[in-house]
Amino acid sequence: MDGQQRILIRNLDILTASEKYHADILIEGEKIQSIGSNLSEDGCLVIDGSGLTAMPGGVDVHTHFDLPMFGTVSSDDHYTGHKAAAFGGTTTVIDFVPLDKPTLEESVAVWREKADTKAAIDYSFHMNISRWDEKIAQEMPRLVDWGMPSIKVFTAYNNRLRISDGEIFSAMRIAKEYGILTLLHAENGDVIETLVAEALRNGKTTPEWHAHTRPSWGAVEATLRGIALAAQSGAPLYVVHMNAAGEVDQLAYGRERGVAVMGETCPQYLFFTVDHLRRPDGAKWICSPPMRTAEDNERLWEGLAQGIVQTIGTDHCPFFYDGTRPIVYEGEEIAIPGKELGSEDFTKIPNGLPGVGDRLPILWTYGVRAGRISENQFIALNCTNPAKIFGLYPRKGALLPGSDADIVLWDLQKRVTYGVAKAQHRTDYNLYEGWELVGYPVKVFLRGKLIVDGDQWFGKPGQGQFIQRSIGKVI
């Protein structure tokens, strides 16, 4: 289908972060031209949307593609991961640039080279700040000019990604001056290092020890520390992949006191616990931070429903469960070393999960239909809020005249038995194997071009665009 022709989608239910109504959508080129009743069909390709619900394309602001780790690489690159995202109704993703080169500019150039020719949906980047010196400090404001005004800092991964609290504070003061948003990975790296060494000395090497050596109190304490740094620097803070009940409490504490702090959780922290790491295939659930308890799951749901937590990302970073056995992907066999690398030692299991394509379908059935969040909250958490916070709105995350025609048509009655055979990630397992879903994306448009139609893929590498983001908004 030609993405440049006028397309009229008739008889839709339209769902946004604030309302639901019945109308037609007219697409002209890459943009939504108008939304209304009885729009003219002159010169249009007409699609009958009867029985379907239109939603904005999902915006996933926490993804990792083609990421080297533990002597291997995450199994989805900027094509395969983007394709999986599209099938799940997500049309914009933000990845992270590692600070692997002497300068920020050189590091960004490497990641652009990885992504530009492969990207199948629209994308942007955050910049990891894993080293701090005067050169980095002087270069950091240029992130705004490059259209990626966000940095990520870590209170864990000692001697790899972590910088000191004083250095984080210095970075945040620059961030405040230039409108850059700071993202925080909140765990206590010193405690983790101590507990990991102790576990290995005592022969505790099974997957559940990944969780035991990264206790939730470390996440809670580091979250409060980050909020305190935000208060003292005057810079906004966004806490990524919140996983513990106490983090929700700390976020509420900071927000109630007027600190410009926001939070994100991920589906894995809503549905799974440390018990999953105790299973024979527990390595499938290894990610950092780890799964917690049912009580933590419940408090995170409350945080979403009550508006304490603003977004849902995925932290998508998949690895094969058994990289010695190839799978067939787009007609070719592929095998990439994966979680089997740590079969004798949890510290050698690559950290990360598939999820970018699962987020919206899973959360519709087990969030909206289960009564945990409303339909409008579903759009706010997965589309509109992330677009506003990260300077993409109203181009992304909205169904408005002038917005990009990133439109997902859902059949809310469609029944799907989900799992690895349905998901499009380039890996050999799915966390939601056998889950029964009601409601599923059936057509996905990227800037006016139909890229997913049922089980058919019309996308291609390089069709995704790097999106220059503006300075975002604290919500």
Q: How many domains does the chain have?
A: 2
Same domain, 106 and 46: no
Same domain, 320 and 437: no
For residue 4, pLDDT beyond 70 = no
Q: Report pTM.
A: 0.97
Same domain, 49 and 131: no
pLDDT reported for residue 2 = 45
For residue 429, pLDDT beyond 80 = yes
Looking at the domain assignment, is residue 443 inside a domain? yes
Looking up residue 26, the CATH number of its domain turns out to be 2.30.40.10
Q: In the predicted model, what is the mean pLDDT of residues 335-356?
A: 98
- For residue 280, what are the contacts with CB-CB under 8 A and spacing of at least 6? none
> What integer best gives the mean pLDDT of the chain?
97
Looking at the domain assignment, is residue 214 inside a domain? yes
pLDDT reported for residue 94 = 98
- For residue 104, what are the contacts with CB-CB under 8 A and spacing of at least 6? 97, 127, 136, 139, 140, 142, 143
Same domain, 319 and 415: no
Q: What digits encode the pLDDT tens for the residues 118-153? A: 999 999 999 999 999 999 999 999 999 999 999 999
Same domain, 14 and 147: no
Looking at the domain assignment, is residue 441 inside a domain? yes
Q: What digits encode the pLDDT tens for the residues 190-236? A: 999 999 999 999 999 999 999 999 999 999 999 999 999 999 999 99
Looking at the domain assignment, is residue 74 inside a domain? yes
pLDDT reported for residue 454 = 98
**Percent share of the chain, pLDDT over 90:** 99
Distance CA 53, CA 466 (A): 28
For residue 3, pLDDT beyond 50 = no
Same domain, 48 and 175: no
Distance CA 411, CA 423 (A): 17
Looking at the domain assignment, is residue 474 inside a domain? no
Same domain, 262 and 410: no
Range of the domain at 278: 58-389
Looking at the domain assignment, is residue 370 inside a domain? yes
Query: Which of 357, 389, 421 is the last residue before a domain boundary?
Result: 389
Q: Which two tokens stand for residue 259?
A: 């600190």
Q: In the predicted model, what is the mean pLDDT of residues 437-445?
A: 98
Query: Which of 334, 357, 389 is the last residue before a domain boundary?
Result: 389
Q: In the predicted model, what is the mean pLDDT of residues 332-358?
A: 98
Same domain, 380 and 252: yes
> What are the backbone dihedrals phi and psi of residue 292, each rounded to the nearest 5 degrees, phi first?
-115, -120
Looking up residue 73, the CATH number of its domain turns out to be 3.20.20.140
Q: In the predicted model, what is the mean pLDDT of residues 37-44?
A: 93
Same domain, 261 and 208: yes
**Percent share of the chain, pLDDT over 70:** 99
pLDDT reported for residue 5 = 81
Q: What digits encode the pLDDT tens for the residues 44-61? A: 999 999 999 999 999 999
How far is CA 407 from each of CA 34, 383, 449, rounded to the nearest angstrom?
Answer: 13, 11, 9
What is the number of residues in the chain? Answer: 475
For residue 1, pLDDT beyond 60 = no
Same domain, 29 and 69: no
Q: In the predicted model, what is the mean pLDDT of residues 454-466?
A: 98
Residue type, 33: Q
Same domain, 276 and 367: yes
Q: What digits encode the pLDDT tens for the residues 277-334? A: 999 999 999 999 999 999 999 999 999 999 999 999 999 999 999 999 999 999 999 9
Same domain, 33 and 111: no
Looking at the domain assignment, is residue 465 inside a domain? no
Looking at the domain assignment, is residue 307 inside a domain? yes
Distance of CA 325 to the CA centre of its chain: 28
- The dihedral sign for the CA sequence 376, 366, 274, 208: negative
For residue 384, pLDDT beyond 70 = yes
